[in-house]
Amino acid sequence: MAKKKVWVVGHKHPDTDSICAAISYANLKNEIEKKNPKTATGMTYIAKRAGSVNAETAYVLERFHAEAPAMISDVGTQIKDIQIRRTEGVNSHISMKKAWEMMKILGVVTLPVVRENKLEGLIVTGDIAKSYMDVYDNTILSTARTQYKNIVETLDGQLLTGNEHAYFVHGKVVIGIGTPEGVTSAIDKDDLVMIGDGEESQMLSIASNCSCMIVTNGYEISQEVIEAAKEREVVLISTPYDTFTAARLINQSMPIKHFMTKNGIIHFDLDDYVDEVRETVANIRHRDFPVLDENQNYVGMFSRRNLMKAEKKKLILVDHNEKSQAVSNIDEAEILEIIDHHRLGSLETMSPVYFRNQPLGCTSTIIYQMYLEKGITITSQMAGLMCAAILSDTLMFRSPTCTQIDREAALRLAEIAEVKVEELASAMFQAGSNFDNKTEEEILNQDFKIFHAEDVSFGVAQISAMGRTELDKVQERIEPKLEQMMGEKQIQMIFVMLTDILNESTYLIYRGADASQLVAAAYNCEPSDQGIMLENVVSRKKQLIPALINTLAERKM
């Protein structure tokens, strides 16, 4: 049995902690599964990311030889998450009878018609009923280009002469009853004749240049008739069925190609979202629908009942618990765990979850503790990733969010990874401070979060560098984009922290109708439309967000 997948994912616009925490926690959970097979959940844990990898994180991943997690933008339930019936596709040349027998065996009412893995059409029970009940044309067998092989199979017959792979393409079906002269008068060239044991009638039918002769009731056929059929290249078939039964069955030998639905087939792709699919199928009377993959190859079928049993994606969230920061359609997913170090946010779950939230400087510090608690060996690679995440989130211990626990964890992880803290931090921050090859949008989005307080929605981006010179260049580039970004994010205010890591200061710029007054009230300074310098302020989580939210709350009092 395939293991169920659980995605471990951080927030949108992920920073180094968000991605490294996803990787290291997924690794921890998988190692726990291996260590304790008796209590294993049967899950496999896969790190994912909800946004682009920034330059600092890219450096860290490359340095410690880790692949960036695959990107996910939406965790809504998709067709790939439901139970798809792997009904094998059939060839368009099989008979209606064979299709009906397959439906009974498989317990389905629809068969997909496939050629070289591409969907050609659908055949349903209604089509079979139509071929049996609603056909009054005695040329329908040739119109449908029925293969003689199908006729032999449908009538449980035996081919005595002719090519079973040839097709009946001209003429009508004639029942050879009455006098020999009456039989031959009814037969035209290329007709298919169903006849009994009269040898004279049989020979006259062949002489009339019929294309096929079916002898019913299992009557013995003389060698003279067989030789005559060979000479005239007549397909000769013997069936054990009586003439009435054979005549009743023969239409079922027609290929499904003639009756199947070819055009306007409603199909869905594996990546289609179930909510959208439900809206479509609600207005369609079909019971089953085909599924195609990204290359438009046939995959399987599903029914309305399958949609009702769709299985939600399973997630573990790291480094966030705010709905606005989570991947899209988070409400449709099943959240199993949350590992975080931020304030409690707006996420709600349908059932209780494991929620570990500690007032530390970094999520990776919590995960480091969990490795120790579970007795799981920390590899050099995992140690390097977690150490880098702590250095990033705490600005190499300069941030007021940094605790002694964070510091001790980073130093121990540095030992395991065999790196020097100062050198690693410097290299990371230098990589993250290179903005030359980034667009203004990429710079603003690399560490951007949206917050809600009272009736206000606002966004905060933090851009860090090793000195003020680089930040001044960035400020000049991004300021013209702030108004546009407010509109795109549908927020009322935007703030950008231009943080000088070495000097432990932030120059705060902002846009929005009330932004300058809000900042002035929060930091007890004169309003300025240009921005303000905040000395000893480097933490968005601890030094900026609480000040803004508290000020907004006071205004409502």
What are the structure tokens assigned to 296, written together?
A: 């438009």
Span 318-373, pLDDT tens digits: 999 988 889 999 988 999 999 999 888 878 888 889 999 999 999 999 999 999 99
Span 4-39, pLDDT tens digits: 899 999 999 899 999 999 999 999 999 999 998 888
Q: Do 153 and 253 reside in the same domain of the chain?
A: yes
Strand 334-340 vs strand 4-9: parallel, antiparallel, or unpaired? unpaired
Strand partners, 316: 8, 337
Distance from C-alpha of 5 to C-alpha of 42, rounded to nearest angstrom = 9
Q: Do 410 and 322 reside in the same domain of the chain?
A: yes
**Does 226 or 446 have the greater pLDDT score?**
226
pLDDT of residue 557: 58
In a domain, 60, yes or no: yes
Residues 36-52: what's their mean pLDDT?
91
Residues 74-86: what's their mean pLDDT?
89
Distance from C-alpha of 44 to C-alpha of 380, rounded to nearest angstrom = 22
Q: Do 106 and 161 reside in the same domain of the chain?
A: yes
**Residue 146 belongs to domain with CATH number:** 3.40.1390.20
Span 438-490, pLDDT tens digits: 899 999 998 899 998 878 999 999 999 888 888 999 999 999 999 999 999 99
Q: Do 427 and 516 reside in the same domain of the chain?
A: no
Q: Domain count of the chain? A: 3
In a domain, 116, yes or no: yes
Q: Do 501 and 394 reside in the same domain of the chain?
A: no
pLDDT of residue 221: 93
pLDDT of residue 527: 86
DSSP result, 469-512: HHHHHHHHHHGGGHHHHHHHHT-SEEEEEEEETTTTEEEEEEES
**Residue 467 belongs to domain with CATH number:** 3.10.310.20
Q: Give long-range contacts, CB 8 A cutoff, 24+ apart: 102-108.
A: 103/128, 108/288, 108/301
Distance from C-alpha of 512 to C-alpha of 333, rounded to nearest angstrom = 34
Question: Where residue 136 falls among pLDDT bands split at 50, 70, 90?
Answer: low
DSSP 50: S
Span 103-120, pLDDT tens digits: 999 989 999 999 999 999
Q: Do 373 and 450 reside in the same domain of the chain?
A: no
Q: Do 250 and 104 reside in the same domain of the chain?
A: yes
Residue ending a domain, choose from 408, 432, 456 = 432
Residues 195-219: what's their mean pLDDT?
92
In a domain, 84, yes or no: no
Residue 417, domain extent = 4-76+312-432
In a domain, 229, yes or no: yes
Q: Do 115 and 238 reside in the same domain of the chain?
A: yes
In a domain, 356, yes or no: yes
Q: Is the dihedral of CA 431, 433, 434, 439 positive or negative?
A: positive
Q: Is the pLDDT of residue 2 over 70?
A: no
Residue ending a domain, choose from 432, 450, 483 = 432
Q: Do 220 and 169 reside in the same domain of the chain?
A: yes
Residue ending a domain, choose from 383, 407, 432 = 432
Whether this prediction's pTM lies above 0.85 is answered by: no
In a domain, 87, yes or no: no
Q: Do 463 and 385 reside in the same domain of the chain?
A: no
**Residue 331 belongs to domain with CATH number:** 3.90.1640.10
3-state secondary structure 290-333: EEECCCCCEEEEEEHHHHHCCCCCEEEEECCCCHHHCCECHHHC
Give φ, ψ of 398 to 5 degrees. -85, -25
Residues 416-439: what's their mean pLDDT?
91
Span 300-315, pLDDT tens digits: 999 888 887 778 899 9
Span 366-378, pLDDT tens digits: 999 999 999 999 9
Q: Is the pLDDT of residue 237 over 60?
A: yes
Q: Do 428 and 452 reside in the same domain of the chain?
A: no
pLDDT of residue 417: 97
Q: Do 449 and 393 reside in the same domain of the chain?
A: no
In a domain, 245, yes or no: yes
In a domain, 282, yes or no: no
Distance from C-alpha of 548 to C-alpha of 519, rounded to nearest angstrom = 7
Q: Give long-range contacts, CB 8 A cutoff, 24+ apart: 135-140.
A: 135/251, 138/172, 138/173, 138/174, 139/171, 139/172, 139/173, 140/251, 140/254
